[in-house]
Amino acid sequence: MTTNPIDKLVVRHSSRILLSQSALQNNVAFIREKVGDDPLISAIIKANAYGHGVDIFVPMLYESGIRHFAVASGYEASQVLQACPDGCEIMVMGILYPQDLEWIIYHNIQFYVFDLERLRQAVEAARKVGKKAIIHLEVETGGNRTGLPIKKLEDALKILKKNSKFIDFRGMCTHLAGAETIANHFRIRRQIIRFQEAYDMAKKKKYPPRLKHIGSSAAALTIPEARMDLVRIGIALYGLWPSPDVYNMHLVEVNKMSDNPLHRVLSWKTDIMHVKKVKEGEFIGYGTSFQAPSKMKVAIIPLGYANGYARSLSNKGYVLIKGKRANICGLINMNLFMVDVSHIPGVKVGDEVVLIGHQEQNSITISSFSDFANQLNNELMSRLPSDIPRQLTK
């Protein structure tokens, strides 16, 4: 059977995401400078690496010196395992179905344990597989999400000690409830004290874990006591500050009015699909939400809310074309929207459109995009569809 050469051609997607290796390396270096040489940096790559794409982002992190990766589920761990070079560690912080434990243990994947039932299941699964389950015991310190109550810690330690040939007690951890907000820090301080009490109990029972860890990006960047044996870094790796409070605390630390040591890794681009003229008084797009106040020239952009571009940006968001802002006019549709290019000379089909990123002297940050869309930075990025091609750039 002969193959038609045309079948080898790649059909283009309506947009593309570009990922900067140099920006990531810069962020890793900044985080390392902040937390010091000792803590192990665990890269949080849940939600498809915050929308950056696990398949491409894990090798990028590896190239930047990261060897430890944390995810939210067993399924995500299976995806990361496919992308990991040799010598990587994977840790599941969230859901694991009992029937998946044997697979997890067989592949040396670490996982949180936050109740006695999961601990017993881990022992049984490890016995069947013939390998040790590598666990991190998550204790409840006041977040009231997942976490083993302190009153049950002694029972957990007894199970761990009794089954030491089946369990590698790798870590003890907790999740801090809102370290990105200074107003929460009184609560965070109490959690740190409670965590230390739990760790001291394990030491008293002569069965402490190898690692202790509590720090996310916000805590690791702002609270020295949270920089323990391991830090769990998410949003900062991708080049974003966890919150204005964290950024302002950094400015105070470096004694500067402005400083931008974190670099955005992700850019998002597309191309103009169509250009047309609109008469004064005509409505643009569905409904009557936008009426042309005068003669206009509009460019049609080939993506919409099905492609991760929030419908809440209707009539208030903007893109960059030829380095200039082009405001959205009309409603964001499922797969396209319109922008006003009346003030931009020479606009034509195929011109590059920047949704997030730089173009000439202007830029659209993830933060500004999120503000217009009424979304969190994490929410925006994690909702970027996985089928958008990710491309590595310098």
State the catalytic residues: 46, 286
Q: Which two tokens stand for residue 377?
A: 């930075």
E strand or H helix that includes residue 324: strand 324-327
User: Which residues, including other chains, have CB under 8 Å from residue 216's CB and lie 6 or more apart?
Assistant: 44, 175, 176, 179, 231, 232, 233, 234, 242
Helices marked H in 211-362 — which ranges? Answer: 217-222, 244-254
d(CA 276, CA 89): 53
- In terms of C-beta density within 10 A (0-12 exposed, 13-18 middle, 19 or more buried), how is residue 162 classed? exposed
Which residue type sits at 156?
Answer: A
Count the Cβ atoms, other than its own, within 10 Å of residue 30. 18
Q: Which two tokens stand for residue 339?
A: 């922008």
Rounded-to-10 torsion of CA 248, 254, 260, 266: -80
Residue with tokens 């810690």: 153
d(CA 273, CA 206): 67
The answer to whether 154 and 205 are in contact (CB under 8 A) is yes
d(CA 244, CA 260): 13
Residue with tokens 């409603």: 331
The answer to whether 94 and 81 are in contact (CB under 8 A) is no
Which residue type sits at 72?
Answer: A
Residue with tokens 């994690």: 382
Q: Which two tokens stand for residue 275?
A: 């250009």
- Nearest 5°: the CA angle 197, 200, 204 is 135
The answer to whether 206 and 174 are in contact (CB under 8 A) is no
Residue with tokens 């195929």: 350
